[in-house]
Amino acid sequence: MAVATEHVGRTRAPPIFSLSNAARIVEMVIGGLLLISIMSVVLKFDIRDPRLWAGYGPNFVRGFWGTLGYIALILPISVGVGFAAGWARVSGHRMLAWPAGAFVDFFRGVPPIVVILFAFLFGVDFIPLRVQLFLQDVFGTSSNSLPFTLAAFAVAFHSGAYQAEIFRAGFQSISRGQIEAAEALGMRHFQTMRSIILPQTVRLSLPPLGNEFAVLIKDTSLLGALGATELVGLSQEFTAQIPISGGQIVWAFAIWSSVALTYFVMTFLVTRLLRLIERRFRTPGLDVMSL
């Protein structure tokens, strides 16, 4: 515990566009050029082929916005669920800790695609008709879109279970002594939570959360298996039609390269954004090895 050495504090955050960042961007550019040259030289195919994009373009755009929509829906829900479950597990109240533990165990133990299928196929049956009608009135959800929304919730809960463990670790890494010191100052439980426990938990959770967000973004592609309006699903739909619609098989290579690149850029941006926040709030003594 005692850090006896008086090391020079490295409190200044390093610049965002450091050498490693620049190197990563160079890697991306080289990778992209490599991909295009493989296509044009080896496969004798131009990724910009207008015949491909005339057909696939609308699917790509619709899928991309659909994916963004699902991420915007799922990400906040997963963080909320994960944080609540993580907190519940360390709350010390058995009535909270036990259900939270069961939740985490269940969603960690079952493949996400299975949970998603369950939610999609049978979820609606668990929602009373009155609630369904209410949702229709307020959010304009049709009976067709409700199963997809429920499937999205399944993705959120799956990620939430992992995030619960991240937050739990964050909560538990705050020493009992600091909590006792806060109590000794006369702080009430709520004040201790707000001023001592939460700020440290959030800071310690940021690096592993960035990792989990990257997983979540890619997991939204599972919704494509149900036929949701989402990048992988719509791309698969188009690829399947290539032989009938008179396209070239090599289009598939271009399509999936574009899809891969899109997911890569999304996860890259999100993890970099999180690292930026992480650096902004860096505190000596509150470092976790970041990925």
Largest CA distance in the chain: 77
Interface of this chain with other proteins, residues 266 to 285, rule: CB under 8 A: 283-285
Q: Nearer Cβ to other proteins, position 6 or 125?
A: 6
Q: Is 165 in the site for other proteins (CB under 8 A)?
A: no
Interface of this chain with other proteins, residues 200 to 229, rule: CB under 8 A: 200, 203
Name the residue with tokens 């959120």: 156
d(Cα 194, Cα 196) in Å, to the nearest integer? 6
Count of residues engaged in binding other proteins, rule: CB under 8 A: 31
Q: Is 6 in the site for other proteins (CB under 8 A)?
A: yes
d(Cα 156, Cα 80) in Å, to the nearest integer? 10
Cα atoms found within 13 Å of the Cα of residue 257, Cβ hemisphere only = 18
Site string for other proteins, 123-162 (x = CB under 8 A): ----------------------------------------
Q: Is 13 in the site for other proteins (CB under 8 A)?
A: no
- Least separation in angstroms between residue 8's CB and other proteins is 8
- Least separation in angstroms between residue 182's CB and other proteins is 8
Number of C-beta neighbours around residue 74 at 10 A? 24
Interface of this chain with other proteins, residues 183 to 202, rule: CB under 8 A: 183-188, 191, 195-196, 199-200
From candidates 46, 105, 180, 237, binder to other proteins by CB under 8 A: 180
From candidates 18, 37, 40, 175, binder to other proteins by CB under 8 A: 175
Q: Is 19 in the site for other proteins (CB under 8 A)?
A: no
Name the residue with tokens 């739990």: 168
**Which residue ranges make up the site for other proteins (CB under 8 A)?**
1-7, 9, 11, 175, 177-178, 180-188, 191, 195-196, 199-200, 203, 283-286
